[in-house]
Amino acid sequence: MKLSAGRPSANPTTKAKTLASLSDTKSTKRINFDVDADQHRKLKIYAANNDTNIKDLLSDYIEKLTSTIE
């Protein structure tokens, strides 16, 4: 058995597999908006009290709002 000190990421097939595993089947869009500092604090507390984070909380809410739209 021969060992080499090469980098695993230098192998093109390994790199392709890694990039493929990171790709999502759905395309995404980023949404940015400003909220009042007090609203942000309250939202963060709400998310923490419900064992989630703001991103997942808002993503679930958007899913619920748009679930009836085809």
Is residue 35 within 8 Å of 43, Cβ to Cβ? Answer: yes
What's this model's pTM, rounded to 2 decimal places?
0.60
| Total number of domains in the chain | 1
Instruction: Flag whether 15 is in a domain.
Output: no
Burial of 58: CB neighbours in 10 Å, binned 0-12, 13-18, 19+: middle
**Smallest Cα–Cα separation from 40: which of 53, 24, 21?**
53
Instruction: Flag whether 43 is in a domain.
Output: yes
The more confidently predicted of residues 55 and 20 is 55
pLDDT of residue 69: 92
Phi and psi at residue 41, in whole multiples of 5°?
A: -60, -45
Instruction: Flag whether 8 is in a domain.
Output: no
Q: What is the pLDDT of residues 20-50, one digit of tens each?
A: 666 657 899 999 999 999 999 999 999 999 9
